[in-house]
Amino acid sequence: MPVNIYDIAKKAGLSVVTVSRVINNYPNVKKENRMKVLAAMKELDYKPNAAARSLAIGKTGMIGLILPTFGDFFLIQVMASVEKALKEAGMFLVVSTAVDNTDLAESNYIRLYREERVDGILILTPVKDSGYLLELKKRDIPYVLLDQYQFNMQAPSITVDNFDGGYQATSVLIKEGAQNIAHISGPDFFESSKERVRGFVAALSDNGIAVREEYLIKGDFTFGCGYYATKNWIDMGILPDAIFAADDNTAFGVLEAAKEFNIPVPQKLSIIGFDDHPFTSLLYPGISTVRQPAEDMGKYGVEMLMEIINQKNGRMNKIALRPSVILRGTTK
């Protein structure tokens, strides 16, 4: 049985109130007594019990992060950044998965906030239905949306400007002189996928290039979709000059297909991906890509959530981060 605040009080010859003041670093404690308490705490190797503290103050010092899967590089990067930011703030990270909107509303994970286990949540799982957010609001649960935002209501969020990312990526290909430019998109399920498509289309039309239906293929952020889309174009004899892949996994597949069919990259085919996956710089040629500021997303997400927690009236911010193009060997 660990020592408690009464043990410290007794040892220091003071009351638990004073001990509590020292623990919480309140200024109104005589220096001499503070020393006594500190000494007692050290000698008895004391740490205050979190449950008791939570019960008394109504805060746990823990934050929940909800994500759809552990299998995505970008999501893991965000998680790493969140953990780092929380650690710096002396808080802890509870991780839970919820694959989709139904899961968000019904899975076991809701106990996280319903049982008041966390002070707030960071939501990386795509929220399709604002009803869920309204419930959080009703229950007064602080939250911040990550990598998504909500159209029909004010909801704090940190997003990446995916339109801009798509526009930038496509512009790189256009500036190279490519005329037949294709895009293999991500699933519509993610808002980010649609935004990248929009950026792609906008860049083309801003430059007077028509969007050809056969060059706008629906993918799913996998190696396979990149590989087969490319193989298909090759088989049909309509391989474009340049491909904007909606993520690096897709780009890996495109590159593999090109290698297999001896299409010189970037001479005959330029490729640009999205995410800056570690492998993009390792493969030969290195894959040009659009870097998402995952660290910033995690860091600002934690910051925003803290603000909301500490001053419930915090204005509902929306932050859109700018992605940046990284040029490697698959573009000219």
Contacts with its own copies, residue ranges (CB under 8 A)? 2, 47-55, 60, 62, 70-71, 76-77, 79-80, 83-84, 87, 90, 92-97, 107-109, 111-112, 114-117, 139, 223-224, 227, 252-253, 256, 259-260, 278-279, 282-284
Instruction: Please give the single-letter amino acid code of residue 106.
Output: E
Pairwise CA distance, residues 93 & 119, whole Å: 11
Pairwise CA distance, residues 3 & 13, whole Å: 15
Closest by CA to 293, choosing from 248, 318, 325, is 325
Structure token pair of residue 76: 């893991």
Pairwise CA distance, residues 231 & 11, whole Å: 76
Minimum separation from the CB atom of position 239 to its own copies (A): 18
Residue 16 touches which of DNA, its own copies, none (CB < 5 to 8 A by kind)? Answer: DNA
Minimum separation from the CB atom of position 231 to its own copies (A): 11
15 binds DNA (CB under 7 A): yes
Q: How many CA atoms lie within 13 A of 148 on its CB side?
A: 23
Residue 320 touches which of its own copies, DNA, none (CB < 5 to 8 A by kind)? Answer: none
Site string (287-326) toward DNA, x via CB under 7 A:
----------------------------------------
Cis before residue 278, ω within 30 degrees of 0?
no
Using DSSP's 3-state secondary structure scheme, residue 288 falls into strand
Closest by CA to 123, choosing from 97, 102, 152, is 97
Residue 324 touches which of its own copies, DNA, none (CB < 5 to 8 A by kind)? Answer: none
Tell which one of 27, 90, 208, 237 touches DNA (CB under 7 A).
27
Tell which one of 10, 53, 128, 318 touches DNA (CB under 7 A).
53
Strand 143-146 versus strand 120-123 pairing type: parallel
128 binds DNA (CB under 7 A): no
Instruction: Please give the single-letter amino acid code of residue 103.
Output: D
Residues 145-204 interacting with DNA (rule: CB under 7 A): none
Closest by CA to 273, choosing from 313, 306, 230, is 230
Q: Hey, how many other C-beta atoms are within 10 angstroms of the C-beta on 69?
A: 11
16 binds DNA (CB under 7 A): yes
282 binds DNA (CB under 7 A): no
Residue 260 touches which of its own copies, DNA, none (CB < 5 to 8 A by kind)? Answer: its own copies
56 binds DNA (CB under 7 A): yes
Residue 97 touches which of DNA, its own copies, none (CB < 5 to 8 A by kind)? Answer: its own copies
Of 203 and 306, which has the nearer Cβ to its own copies? 306
Of 120 and 253, which has the nearer Cβ to its own copies? 253
Q: What are the start-end ranges of the E strands in 125-222?
A: 143-146, 157-160, 181-185, 216-218
Strand 270-272 versus strand 242-245 pairing type: parallel
Of 18 and 150, which has the nearer Cβ to DNA? 18
Of 139 and 268, which has the nearer Cβ to DNA? 139
Closest by CA to 287, choosing from 269, 304, 273, is 273
62 binds DNA (CB under 7 A): no
